[in-house]
Structure 1
Amino acid sequence: MHVIGLTGGIGAGKSLVAEILKSLGARVVDADKVGHEVYAPGTEGFLAVVEAFGTEVVDANGQIDRAQLGAKVFGDASELEKLTAIVHPRIRQMVDDRIAAARRDPEVPVLVLEAAILLDSGWDAITDEVWVVVSDPVEIRRRLAEARGLSEAEVDARAAKQMSDEERRSRADVLVHNDGTSDELRLEVERLWRERVNP
């Protein structure tokens, strides 16, 4: 089984590239969605987050309020480190379990590990190659304002907490350019699939 690590900065288009790869036959493990499972009510991760950040990060439905938690950690490096120490090891264990299960499944020739923190956390070591989605910063701001309602300052604050695009690019095996339409992106990903994977 071939494992592609897929990453990129906030708003670059990782999820869209992952959807395209899935449509081509890859199984996708989305580390962000795995992270949601780590926070599920009653889990060790949920209890540890509430203990560390207080009940104000729990919404009326008893779920972790990711917006509230994000507001607490994205402006404070020590709080972000605290959250990372709680969540990343649990996510990594769940990701490892899913990759191991996929390796046992002969129907899975390609697995994509989609993770914003792929390189920061060293998870690229469990992949065969790293694909980095890159996009124009102006386009990223426009997308994030439209899709998530984030201001420029909020985008900049979140981007500042992530690895720089320059460093990501330097560690990429493949750069996926997302500066055009979704159809153009699909053609680019299909071309890369044929050239690099084609199971």
Structure 2
Amino acid sequence: MLVVGLTGNIGSGKSSVARFLKEMGARVIDTDQVARDVVAPGTPALNQIIKHFGTGILNADGTLDRPKMARIVFNDPEALKRLNSIVHPAIRAEILKDIADYKTKRDAPLLVIEAPLLIETGMNNIVDQVWLVTVDAKTQIQRVMKRDNATAEQVTRRLAAQMPQEDKLPYAHRVIDNSGTPGETLQQLQQIWSDTIDRPQAQAE
């Protein structure tokens, strides 16, 4: 039983790696989905957001207008800080519940928490290992341009706003280079799975 925080910058292919790990038998939690769940109508987090930012950030059905919220905080560091101070603790609390549930049920050899901001939010402190998905700069920019229909300049600006990939390396117990083909990435994951999951269990038996 192992709790792994899976992270990487935009365009690194974290979601593809998470999907491979799920197919291999891991239980996977997507913190992007958790982030949506904790601001659902009626949640304490959404009520706090409304209190701070007003009802103008809601859609007609009472859900959070995420694109509008993003526009508000994009050029306002104080607003972003305020939003993060509401949302990040709520996400962390849910993840801690999921970890506790996993440790009780023991229904998979590996729990993977897919979190783009794992290190930035300090969630690396609540997992056993950090697995970092890396990618070369050229491939990264091309992937995000294609995925988001964005220009190279827009992608470069988004990358500049993130914690650099090389700054995350010291935190990583495992590094998965996802610059190549899906087959090459899968091969790395199979080796990591063998080293991390299969061998320790074999020794324990």
TM-score (norm 1): 0.91
**Which position in structure 2 is the counterpart of 1:160?**
160
Q: Which residue of 1 aligns with 2:197?
A: 197
Q: Check conservation: 2:3, 2:110, Cα contact below 8 A.
A: yes
Counterpart of 1:46 in structure 2: which amino acid? L
Identity of aligned residues (%): 37
Structure 2 letter corresponding to 1:163: M
Contact in 2 for aligned 1:75/1:157 (Cα 8 Å): no
Distance 1:61 1:156, change over 3 A: farther
Amino acid at match of 2:158: R
Deviation digits for residues 154-173 of structure 1 (CA, Å, limit 9, x no counterpart): 43343333321111112111
Instruction: Sort the Cα spacing of 1:103 and 1:42 in 2 relative to 1 into closer, same or farther, 3 A.
Output: same
Which whole-Å deviations, capped at 9, do the CAs of 1:12-49 have from their partners, x for residues lacking one? 11111111111111111111110000111121111222
Question: CA separation in 1, counterparts of 2:143 and 2:50?
Answer: 32
For normalisation by structure 2, the TM-score amounts to 0.88
Aligned equivalent of 2:52 = 52
Q: Which structure has the greater CA radius of gyration?
A: 2
Q: CA deviation at 1:53?
A: 3.0
Aligned length: 199
Q: Which stretch has the larger CA shift, 46-55 or 88-97?
A: 46-55
Does residue 90 in structure 1 map to residue 90 in structure 2?
A: yes
1:36 alignment partner, SS class: helix
2:122 matched residue in structure 1: 122
Preserved contact between residue 109 and residue 197 of structure 2 (Cα < 8 Å): no
Offset at residue 195 of structure 1 (A): 1.9
**Whole-angstrom distance in 2 between the partners of 1:135 and 1:189:** 15
Distance 1:155 1:69, change over 3 A: farther
In structure 2, relative to structure 1, the CA distance for the partners of 1:97 and 1:33 (3 Å cut) is same
Which residue number corresponds to residue 14 of structure 1?
14
Gaps of 5+ in 1: none
Shift of 1:54: 3.4
- The correspondence of residues 76-155 of structure 1 with structure 2, limited to 5 A, is 76-155=76-155
Question: Residue type matched to 1:53 in 2?
Answer: F
Q: Does 1:183 align with 2:187?
A: no
* In structure 2, C-alpha distance between the alignment counterparts of 1:21 and 1:75, rounded to whole Å: 36
Q: Does residue 35 of the first structure (1) align with residue 23 of the second (2)?
A: no
Q: Which residue of 1 aligns with 2:24?
A: 24
Offset from partner CA, 1:81-124 (integer Å, 9 cap, x none): 11110100000000000110010013222101111111112111
Q: 1:10 & 1:130 partners in 2: Cα distance?
A: 17
The answer (yes or no) to whether the contact 1:7–1:14 under 8 Å persists in 2 is yes
Q: Unpaired segments of 5 or more residues in structure 2? A: none
RMSD: 1.8
